[in-house]
Amino acid sequence: MLQLSAVATRRAGRVSLWGTASPFCLEDLAKALQRRGEEILRVGTVEVVFAFPEWTRPHRVIPRQALTERGQRIREPWTTLWLVRFGYAEPRAELEGLTLEGEPVQLLVRDLDLDAVEAYVMASGWQRCTAGIWVAAGSLPQVRSDVEEEAWAAAWLRAVLSPSEREAFEGILQEATRRGIPWRVQYQEREARFMLESRRQIEGMLLLARAVDRCLIEVSDLEQGLPIMD
């Protein structure tokens, strides 16, 4: 499970996650979103889980534990992150989890690296989230829809990580730029320098970026009512 300081909204049946950083606060963000006609589902700590639509048909299953053919057992909070990152090395695994309705499920899953991933937020039950918007307090060159996954995740992580971990993360970004490689690759080479909780946040944000449509906007764009991912 990933926990984010965010605003969860619904509009025309579509659930979105909105994030921002000081000096623009979540309460101000929620008010601005209400003025845009968004239904506010949650303000503050939002819980996000991930499910896989193909492996677990006809249900959507939130993984809790996996046992590989090689006898390796992976438990929460690392199950989903492990499946996404290392599943390519395993032909199949026994998966235990819960449906979105809370029913326990145990099943055999195959092709662990091929399935899509969906994000769900807790708001009167699990609601599928299909969009993530970061509202920048400063200026951006332009409103950017369909932002590349790593750039979008980095914007959130700069606000999520602790000051000391943020400094290490900025070092990862700078070194990746210098080497001309994705920062995800640089992070995986240097992940041992991060605390476990920070590693969960980083990998969770990368997974969320994969699961949603992504956008970066400015506060002024929000206040002016400009169309965003409409």
pLDDT digits (tens, 9 = 90+) for 157-211: 999 999 999 999 999 999 999 999 999 999 999 999 899 999 999 999 999 999 9
Residues 120 and 128: beta-carbon distance below 8 Å = yes
Residue 64 lies in a domain: yes
Sheet (strand 92-99) strand order: 73-75, 61-68, 92-99, 104-110
Under the banding of pLDDT at 50, 70 and 90, the label for residue 77 is confident
Tens-place pLDDT, residues 86-117 = 877 777 889 899 999 999 999 888 776 667 88
65 with 165, same domain: the answer is no
140 with 74, same domain: the answer is no
Residue 138 lies in a domain: yes
In whole angstroms, give the CA distance from residue 178 to residue 185.
13
In whole angstroms, give the CA distance from residue 202 to residue 55.
24
Final residue of a domain: which of 92, 116, 140?
116
Final residue of a domain: which of 97, 116, 135?
116
Residue 11 lies in a domain: yes
Structural domains in the chain (count): 2
210 with 152, same domain: the answer is yes
84 with 188, same domain: the answer is no
In whole angstroms, give the CA distance from residue 9 to residue 59.
24
25 with 137, same domain: the answer is yes
**Exposure b/e, 11-42, CB count within 10 A at least 16 = b:** eeeebbbbbbbeebebeebbebbeeeebebbb
Contacts of 174 (CB under 8 A, 6+ apart): none
189 with 168, same domain: the answer is yes
In whole angstroms, give the CA distance from residue 133 to residue 145.
9
145 with 199, same domain: the answer is yes
Residue 38 lies in a domain: yes
136 with 154, same domain: the answer is yes
Range of the domain at 75: 53-116
38 with 144, same domain: the answer is yes
Structure tokens belonging to residue 24:
């623009």
The arithmetic mean of pLDDT across residues 150-158, rounded, is 94
186 with 147, same domain: the answer is yes
Structure tokens belonging to residue 161:
């990580």
**What is the pLDDT at residue 82?**
86
Final residue of a domain: which of 116, 131, 152?
116
Residue 228 lies in a domain: no
